[in-house]
Amino acid sequence: MQWKSEPHASPAGTTAAAQGEEGVELDISNANVPIPHVASADLPQCPLCKENILRPGVVWFGEALPLKTVDAVQKWIDDADRIDLILVIGTTAQVFPAAGYVEDARDKGARVAVVNMDIEDIPPGGMLPGDWFFQGDASVVVPELLRDVIGDV
């Protein structure tokens, strides 16, 4: 059984382009990069209701994970006889419900692989013998870890 989820996704950047022009990359993570003002009327609108603006399909800090995602992850963990590995990428996994996934997976035999910038950000229960911690930017580390599976990215 295989299952994959990206609960938080990533708003790594944005692109602005006038019609017929190539886009300009804007590093929205850098406060020193000026971002042009966009009028509310120019923001993408919901194609169904035409009243609400669209937003990135991500979970921001302080927001709850979608119940559909929480239920799907918990069902997968509960239904699995054995779990070999749980990946904790770019998060401390200290906030519930995600914090419980590591221990639930460990109860089913999982080893833990953490990819995080901060060596201090470890999941509940800490790092156990046989677990891995890869310090660095997930956008660099994860493709390197999976190169033999997914090829060069």
CA distance 127 to 113: 9
Q: pLDDT for 57-80, tens place per residue?
A: 788 878 888 899 999 999 999 999
- Section 31-39 average pLDDT: 84
The three-state (H, E, C) secondary structure of 118-149, written as one string: CCCCCCCCCCCCCCEEEECCHHHHHHHHCHHH
Percent of the chain with pLDDT over 70: 83
Neighbours of 117 (CB within 10 A): 11
pTM: 0.65
Contacts of 91 (CB under 8 A, 6+ apart): 8, 98, 116, 121
Q: What CATH number belongs to 67-150?
A: 3.40.50.1220
| Joined tokens for residue 97 | 């419900």
Q: pLDDT for 117-146, tens place per residue?
A: 998 888 888 899 999 999 999 999 999 999
How high is the pLDDT of residue 46?
85
| CA dist 123 → 57, 118, 126 (Å) | 25, 12, 6
Whose tokens are 């870890």? That residue is: 145
- List the one residue out of 76, 129, 133, 146 whose CA is nearest residue 105: 76
How high is the pLDDT of residue 19?
54
What residues does each domain of the chain span? 67-150
How high is the pLDDT of residue 143?
94
CA distance 16 to 25: 7
